[in-house]
Amino acid sequence: MNIYDMTKEKLEEYFLSIGEKKFKAIQVFEWLYQKRIHRIHEWTNLKKEMREKIANDFSFEMPKIVKHEIDDLTEKFLIELKDKEHIEAVLMHHDYGNSICVSSQVGCNMGCAFCESGRLKKIRNLETYEMVCQILLIEEIKKERISSVVIMGIGEPLDNYENVMDFIKIINDSKGIAIGARHITLSTSGLVPKIKELMNFPFQINLAISLHASNNELRSRLMNVNKAYNLDELLDTIRAYILKTNRRVTIEYVMLNNVNDGEKNALELAKILKGMNVYVNLIPYNETNHFEFKKSTKNQIMKFYDTLKKNKINVTIRKEFGSKISAACGQLRSKEVER
Ligand code: SAH
Ligand code: SF4
């Protein structure tokens, strides 16, 4: 087990199981996440024998940043894991603070037609520590704290449910990295059973759904997952989620030129979302040279936006980040794999 895999509750269980007091878990969390000292011999409030036992029972190994690209307000990090696989994390500077986009898997099995991460199949899930360390490593190299986390990098987070939930617990813990649940967003392609499970997860995180289409036929063409859980089922589940959690859900809609960006689509989308407590985030497509898809024109995006507005749907257009530095999810990794 890696020490950064451990939620506070799991550490408490560990200490109880070796006949120690459970508050030691808080001390460990303070060293790891508040003082950020991972050299265990400096953990002076724990006895030497205790430190030796911990060092024996846990690995403290972290992944490594092997590449760092900067483009204006976006910084992209290529991270090498223990088994030499690579993932990406992206740091974005906003007026309101910094956010990090973290990966949840090595590759992705959902195979969406436009996505670089899915082009290369899933090799494995990320361990909890490999997600936690994306944040620790970037904060360390930048010498600054980040204020929000989006789980929108490589992978389908709900296909790695347990590890992702532990990751959220650790970064949200007030003795951990202490990022408020409202500053944590999980994006999913729409794994209905897992969204139902997430309804009962006792943390008020934000949920974003990659919808990307206004009808079943189009969505099945763009996203294989729609063949397993179709649009109607997904929308019903989102309604139930909103009812249960009382939280507004984000609908992500990537704008693909002449594919899903027509006036007809905008009207259809407004119709299926009518009355739901959601807001639509229109995402300018990041073109990659492996797919035919082109980004919608600015004009088309504005028309789509206006139609949704006129039909009383809350909508925003996502700011384009780092298109120069292969910021589309998975692009940096896919270059590395090809190399
Ligand atoms: N697997 C999850 C989270 C990772 S993808 C999901 O699909 O929601 C995060 C978001 O980036 C998704 O909305 C995805 O559709 C979108 N995306 C993928 N490739 C993109 C590209 N080239 N340009 C813009 N957005 C992209
Ligand atoms: Fe996977 Fe999300 Fe990319 Fe689809 S969009 S292939 S679910 S990472």
**pLDDT per position as a tens digit, 238-260:** 999 999 999 999 999 999 999 99
Q: What is the atom index within ligand 2 of the atom nearest the CA of 119? A: 6
* Least distant ligand from the CA of 331: 1
Best of 329, 333, 334 to mutate for ligand 1, by most ligand atoms within 8 A of CB?
Answer: 329
Has 139 been annotated as catalytic? Answer: no
Record the pTM.
Answer: 0.95
The residue nearest atom 22 of ligand 1, judged by CA position, is: 286
The residue nearest atom 8 of ligand 2, judged by CA position, is: 155
> What are the C-alpha distances in Å from 199 to residues 144, 207, 243?
33, 10, 10
- Determine the Cα–Cα distance for residues 91 and 100; give it in Å rounded to an integer: 5
| Residue range(s) of every CATH 3.20.20.70 domain in the chain | 64-338
Best of 112, 159, 219, 223 to mutate for ligand 2, by most ligand atoms within 8 A of CB?
Answer: 112
Q: Taking 90 as the threshold, does the pLDDT of residue 326 lie above it?
A: no
How far does the centroid of ligand 2 lie from the alpha carbon of residue 114, in Å? 9
pLDDT band, very low/low/confident/very high, at 304 (cuts 50, 70, 90): very high
Query: Lowest mean pLDDT: which of 182-196, 253-267, 308-322?
Result: 308-322
Q: Which residues contact 283 (CB under 8 A, 6 or more apart)?
A: 252, 253, 254, 255, 318
Q: What is the pLDDT of residue 100?
A: 95
Has 320 been annotated as catalytic? Answer: no
> What are the C-alpha distances in Å from 289 to residues 116, 294, 312?
10, 10, 36
Contact indicator for 20, 76 with CB cutoff of 8 Å: no
Given 12, 88, 156, 252, the catalytic residue: 88
Q: What is the pLDDT of residue 330?
A: 58
Q: What is the pLDDT of residue 331?
A: 59
| Residue range(s) of every CATH 1.10.150.530 domain in the chain | 3-57
How far does the centroid of ligand 2 lie from the alpha carbon of residue 189, in Å? 7
- Determine the Cα–Cα distance for residues 191 and 212; give it in Å rounded to an integer: 15
pLDDT band, very low/low/confident/very high, at 226 (cuts 50, 70, 90): very high
88 in contact with ligand 2, CB cutoff 6 A:
no
Contact indicator for 158, 188 with CB cutoff of 8 Å: yes
Q: What is the pLDDT of residue 231?
A: 98
Q: Which superfamily is assigned to 64-338 in CATH?
A: Aldolase class I (3.20.20.70)
pLDDT band, very low/low/confident/very high, at 288 (cuts 50, 70, 90): confident
Percent over 70 (pLDDT), the chain: 94
pLDDT band, very low/low/confident/very high, at 118 (cuts 50, 70, 90): confident
**Could you tell me the two tokens for 57?**
């029972």
Q: What is the atom index within ligand 1 of the atom nearest the CA of 116? A: 19
Q: Taking 80 as the threshold, does the pLDDT of residue 140 lie above it?
A: yes
108 in contact with ligand 2, CB cutoff 6 A:
yes
Q: Taking 80 as the threshold, does the pLDDT of residue 203 lie above it?
A: yes
How far does the centroid of ligand 1 lie from the alpha carbon of residue 114, in Å? 9
Which architecture, in CATH terms, is 3-57? Orthogonal Bundle (1.10)
The residue nearest atom 3 of ligand 1, judged by CA position, is: 152
210 in contact with ligand 1, CB cutoff 6 A:
yes
